[in-house]
Copies of this chain bind each other. A is one copy, B any other.
């Protein structure tokens, strides 16, 4: 058995209560006694039991993250690992830990949140992949659990949000293409049920509008490679096909580029392509991908910090906006072709 507070109390010749006060910096013990207790505690190597602490203070000292993705897709996105690493850097400073749940089956997501909260596993949760009219917001309100959202939900959410100015990133990509002479700039969007899917699409529309171009080349997809291929195929089949495609993520861009090449199109000779995320493999594609570099680690760190502040009462619950993604220009974008050529099938 490990050493307990009673052992320390006995060794220091005081009561359990005094040890507790001394440890937590509360009044009720003289400076001399406090010091003596702390020194005895250190000598005995006492570590207060989190379990006991949790029981009496009704806290878990942990944050929860539920990742709802098809497991086969999980490995394709460089976002989560780095995001989680960021969370950890913030937690490590506060003796909190991260409880991770992966909801694979549809509908399992809600159960995951319920379980984490009702079992008292976590004191707060981080909400990612926020969706349009997200049902998890009322759920978390019902569960009365503090939360942060990654991106601001469209439906009224009382939780602080940590977001990135995605518009600025997409706008930079579009401006880059416009500067290269492109006039037919398409967008292969991610799932439009996601706020970030919508943000990127709207930014694309806005940027085209600002350039005086019509935003008529939108193809809906779902952030998956297969979806990217299908959307790309649809776009390239059109008579007045695009000379550039802005993809909502790297995986779709990669798959789209590969598909376009399989049709005999040259990238960027016939078609310019941009991605989003700056996944490491994109610099080794042929050609390397022009994309938008985000900082998911920072995102995770800030999200966790905001949530921790809320829990300790230090936070004011304000939204945070992180720096915009940075355009990384590589060889997948180039001057617009003078004649885009016929549609491809």
What is A's interface to B at a CB cutoff of 8 Å? 47, 49-52, 54-55, 58, 60, 62, 71-82, 84-86, 88-89, 95, 97-102, 104, 116, 118-121, 225, 251, 254-255, 257-258, 261, 279-281, 283-286, 288, 296-297
Contact = CB atoms under 8 A, between A and B. Distances in A.
A44 to B, nearest CB: 14
Count identical subunits in the complex.
Answer: 2
B258 A76 contact: no
Pick the most buried of A52, A254, A255: most chain B CB atoms within 10 A of its CB: A254
Contact of A49 (B79, B120, B251, B280): B120
Which A-B residue pairs are the 4 nearest by beta carbons?
Answer: A75-B78, A74-B81, A71-B85, A258-B284
Given A255-B284, A258-B288, 9 more contacts: A51-B60, A52-B55, A75-B77, A85-B104, A98-B99, A99-B100, A258-B284, A285-B285, A286-B286
Chain A interface, >50% SS class: helix
A82 B75 contact: yes
A251 B51 CA distance: 42
B121 A76 contact: no
B50 A280 contact: no
A47 B119 contact: yes
A251 B282 CA distance: 11
B255 A75 contact: no
Given A88-B101, A254-B284, A121 B75 contact: no
Nearest to A278: B75
A47 B100 CA distance: 21
Contacts of A119: 47, 50, 95
Nearest to A229: B284
A340 B286 CA distance: 23
A288 B75 CA distance: 18
Q: By CB atoms of chain B within 10 A, which of A97, A281, A288 has the most?
A: A281
A89 B104 CA distance: 8
A297 B283 CA distance: 27
Contact of A78 (B76, B257, B284): B76
